[in-house]
């Protein structure tokens, strides 16, 4: 697989799905065979980036290839990969409704079935630290745990997946759930799916859903 091209295409997809604005947000992917991490550069337009702009790091976060400044959240991506051997892709987005709950420092519970199936019981907020700091990276890793997403207070969302398609699915489902939760709370008390039912649905997704 051409991981550099994957990062380029994913940056364009992130913009087309309105998961971020301008040059904010960042994306990474891991080659499970080599352990190399492919990362977006800092402050570059996703529509004009080329494969020459993508940076490559080893599992310890040491530069292997690339001449651009890396995303300010490079350490966050590296630390997630180090803590989660199952993760093949990380997407840090700034979408509107996810941002609403990050600004409120509110965890997002399982309010939709797709959220319950793909993400689980809730998405927790990571403790606030300045962007690009090791403290933020550690906070995100802690809040993420074994889950699929976390919210960075006043900052955005971080979603992971075993591959890029999976990570985008998580990001899309999270943003939709945040929108629904916001709208539901504005007119009433949303029903939260019980933990036991979340577990049943996740097991169904893993063992029975699909062909």
Q: How many CB atoms lie within 10 A of CB 85?
A: 9
Q: 73 an active-site residue? A: yes
pTM of the model: 0.93
| Residue 167 backbone dihedrals phi, psi, to 5 degrees | -60, -40
Give bridge partners of residue 55 from the DSSP assignment. 39
Q: What would the two tokens of residue 20 be?
A: 């971020």
Which bin fits 66, alpha (ψ -120 to 50), beta or left (φ > 0)? left
Cα dihedral sign, 93-98-101-106: negative
Q: Nearest Cα to 109, choosing from 1, 14, 46, 190?
A: 190
From 13, 33, 73, 146, active-site residue:
73
**DSSP one-letter code for 19:** S
What is the full per-residue pLDDT of the chain (211 aa) written as tens digits? 899 999 999 999 988 888 887 777 899 999 999 999 999 999 888 888 999 999 999 999 999 999 999 999 999 999 999 999 999 999 999 999 999 999 999 999 999 999 999 999 999 999 999 999 999 999 999 999 999 999 999 999 999 999 999 999 999 999 999 999 999 999 999 999 999 989 998 887 777 665 5
Query: Using an 8 Å Cβ cutoff, are 57 and 36 in contact?
Result: yes
Give the chain's domains with CATH numbers: 3-207 (3.40.225.10)
Cα dihedral sign, 15-18-20-26: negative
């Amino acid at each position: 697989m051409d991981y550099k091209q994957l990062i380029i295409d994913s940056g364009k997809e992130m913009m087309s799905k309105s998961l971020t604005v301008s040059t904010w947000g960042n994306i990474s992917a891991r080659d499970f065979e080599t352990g190399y991490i492919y990362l977006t550069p800092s402050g570059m337009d996703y529509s004009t980036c080329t494969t020459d702009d993508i940076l490559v790091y080893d599992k310890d976060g040491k530069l292997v290839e690339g001449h651009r400044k890396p995303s300010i959240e490079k350490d966050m991506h590296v630390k997630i990969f180090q803590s989660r051997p199952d993760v093949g892709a990380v997407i840090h987005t700034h979408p509107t409704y996810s941002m609403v709950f990050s600004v409120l420092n509110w965890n997002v519970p399982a309010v939709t079935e797709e959220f319950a199936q793909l993400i689980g019981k809730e998405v927790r907020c990571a403790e606030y630290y300045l962007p690009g700091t090791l403290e933020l990276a550690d906070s995100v890793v802690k809040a993420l745990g074994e889950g699929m997403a976390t919210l960075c207070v006043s900052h955005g969302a971080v979603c992971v997946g075993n591959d890029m398609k999976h990570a985008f699915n998580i990001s899309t489902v999270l943003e939709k759930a945040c929108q629904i939760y916001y709208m539901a709370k504005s007119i009433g008390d949303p029903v939260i799916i019980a933990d036991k039912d979340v577990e049943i649905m996740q097991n169904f997704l893993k063992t029975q859903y699909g062909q």
